[in-house]
Amino acid sequence: MSDRILVAVDIGETDIASPALEAAVEVARTSGGSIRLVYVRSPIPVTRMDFIPPEYFEEQEKLAASKLADLARTIPLDAARVSTASRFGAAYVGVLEEAREWNADLIVVGAHQPTIATYLLGSNAKKIVRHAHCSVLVVRSNKKASLFD
């Protein structure tokens, strides 16, 4: 049974998140479970830190929280069954930490169609599947992965 469904989303790529959200909603409806959206903000390389204004990180957190709240409102479940979390760091690490701390039964993650870049560098979805403490559902989109997007 999937009572606690964690959905990894990239608020900048909702076309990848949409199929994963649809799958998670279907599982939640069937199981009566809850959904938590998690977005992990990427760290900025240390070499660029001197150029970042002090309020940057606070503004980025507010923006992420706002966009996650907007996305959560689109989920066709009772609002009490939907929550959000925003983290900072490497995407797969943040998703796995949130899954452990929230005690998720299932992680749902959207994924690009594989390309040579995916095979050479690996993907966050692959790392999540490999290291998760619970079941993982990977939902493919039709969008191809790119190094330069």
pLDDT tens for each residue of 72-126? 999 999 999 999 999 999 999 999 999 999 999 999 998 876 655 455 445 788 8
Q: Which of 87, 107, 103, 93 is nearest to 39 (CA)?
A: 87
- Is the confidence at residue 145, as pLDDT, over 50? no
Domain hosting 101: range is 4-144
Decide if 72 contacts 100 (C-beta within 8 A): no
Mean predicted confidence (pLDDT) in 52-78:
91
Give the domain CATH number at 56: 3.40.50.620
Evaluate whether residue 92 is within a structural domain.
yes
Is there a domain that residue 149 lies in? no
Distance CA 104, CA 135 (A): 9
With cut-offs at 50, 70 and 90, classify the pLDDT of residue 35. Answer: very high
109 in any annotated domain: yes
Residue 118 covered by a domain = yes
This prediction's pTM: 0.84
Q: What is the total count of domains within the chain?
A: 1
Instruction: Decide if 28 is inside a domain.
Output: yes
Confidence of residue 148 (pLDDT cuts 50, 70, 90): very low
φ, ψ for residue 65 (rounded to 5)? -60, -40
- Identify the three-state secondary structure at position 53: coil
The DSSP code for 122 is -
* Residue 22 belongs to a domain: yes
| Residue 147: per-residue pLDDT | 41
Say if residues 29 and 76 touch (Cβ distance below 8 Å). no
52: in domain: yes
